[in-house]
Structure 1
């Protein structure tokens, strides 16, 4: 992996593959890493330049205990990475937290460096209230979020598994209740992560409201959602589609919060077609 040092002492790690007229910049989800995109990167790099990073606080790297892990800091990192690599035609591909990072980037830096967006299974506001029901579970208010933050400090791995396993996807609920091999492997993975840094990251994530950003997006946008997401409703999918003018919405069947992983070939096809049309 290549690296880029930031002014606050944080080192960003990334991979860069391929060549092409457009550059796909992949932004992973919370608790994930560059590995989320490895199944796609090499194939997409046959026709495009591909850049994938480990967001600060993520990946198998050493971070200082007081490292900043907020979304605004990640957006600043992204601007520095685009500058460092001289990228002025980026298609940001953001899954979950990666979509939030893309929206925060637009809020801070605008869309001048962007050619398009691909946003995967995310809401612009995770915490619900009396005026907003399209966040996590469609019922995740500030009090529930505070309880979750407390749970993260008590037992980070199990709290994350509970968030996944107690969501709206029946298959995930059953696998969590049965402590399936998949959940055992996730637990083993989560135990290796810097829980305190990622807890602060979640706190930053749930403080954000990107609803005003969506209506201001002028670049072409490809939206991909799972029809059985653990976290987000069909109403949220349509709401985001309506807010981003001219956006293209794909709903992948039999898919959870990571529809691109359930339908790898379809995702590559849809993304290639979207990029070729820009």
Structure 2
């Protein structure tokens, strides 16, 4: 697996496969790059070069005690693109990986970006009077303690057992169990807390490149309406809701997700 060094001397691992227009895949909280294997295969077969990043503290990348913030994770994406020497890329992020994409764009703009795909990540996790599509039960009043004991069971969405067949398919494809990072280390707790405090709505509304907001109808974390409401104020945005699908859309409904992803990519070529 190739590596890059960030500008604060952290070694990040990434996968690099295929040839053609570049797609960068960024997984969510605790998830490694290998959880994109079913999308990586579909993209390579469709004629794309795929870079899948293990964010710091994730997968095979280094896990330092510093840099546990969305700002730093966005900068890491910039470091990856510069080190590999790619421009005009499609950025696809799942969950916190999508927030990492918006963090990158908020800091560095879209000069090197062709399009964006956000996979079941609400742009604002805290519910408020002007945003009802945050994490179920998360408010500004309880934000600083809400995740103290990990990610709570919200009682919403697809039951965990219904995701088991899809997860087994992923394991069979990898011939291994994905390396899931522990959420209980101080840096990971700090990263989750920082993630919960962000609001990417203005970044999304001001995006000047095509973007697709994907939602799982039965997401365990937030209402699917976050997708459609995130494109209301930007004609470049599109949204799609995957039925019978939980939060991990690319793993829960890989065929349906891949179809939506490839149709979107075809439309921007």
Task: Say yes or no: TM over 0.5.
Answer: yes
**SS state at 1:243 partner:** coil
The aligned runs of 1:198-277 (5 Å cut-off) are 198-277=188-267
Q: Would you say 1:50 and 2:50 are equivalent positions?
A: yes
Stretch of structure 1 that moved more, 28-37 or 262-271: 262-271
For 1:118 and 1:131, the matched residues in 2 are separated by: 24
Deviation for aligned residue 1:243: 3.1
For 2:207 and 2:34, the matched residues in 1 are separated by: 28
Superposed CA offset, 1:46-94 (max 9, x none):
3100000111111144423x22121111111111111111211110011
Conservation of the 8 A alpha-carbon contact between 2:228 and 2:238: no
Tell me which residue corresponds to 1:169: 157
**SS state at 1:260 partner:** helix
For 1:58 and 1:169, the matched residues in 2 are separated by: 26
Conservation of the 8 A alpha-carbon contact between 2:39 and 2:250: no
Return the structure number with greater helix share.
Answer: 1
Superposed CA offset, 1:118-162 (max 9, x none):
11111111112333322101x3113333223432xxxxxxx23xx
For 2:256 and 2:181, the matched residues in 1 are separated by: 32
Structure 2 length-normalised TM: 0.86
Q: Would you say 1:82 and 2:81 are equivalent positions?
A: yes
Aligned length: 255
Conservation of the 8 A alpha-carbon contact between 2:66 and 2:187: yes
For 1:53 and 1:274, the matched residues in 2 are separated by: 21
Deviation for aligned residue 1:28: 0.7
Pair 1:190–1:196, CA change in 2 (3 A): farther
For 2:118 and 2:214, the matched residues in 1 are separated by: 6
- Cα RMSD (Å): 2.4
Conservation of the 8 A alpha-carbon contact between 1:218 and 1:245: no
Tell me which residue corresponds to 2:101: 102
For 2:217 and 2:103, the matched residues in 1 are separated by: 26
Give structure 1 stretches of 5+ with no counterpart.
Answer: 152-158, 176-180, 183-187
Deviation for aligned residue 1:110: 0.6
Give structure 2 stretches of 5+ with no counterpart.
Answer: 169-177
Deviation for aligned residue 1:203: 1.5
Pair 1:148–1:252, CA change in 2 (3 A): same
Structure 1 length-normalised TM: 0.84
**SS state at 1:74 partner:** helix
Superposed CA offset, 1:17-63 (max 9, x none):
1001x211001111111122122213311310000011111114442
Conservation of the 8 A alpha-carbon contact between 2:126 and 2:143: yes
Tell me which residue corresponds to 1:119: 118
Deviation for aligned residue 1:170: 5.3
Superposed CA offset, 1:200-224 (max 9, x none):
1112112211111111111111221
Tell me which residue corresponds to 2:140: 142
**SS state at 1:166 partner:** coil
Deviation for aligned residue 1:191: 7.7
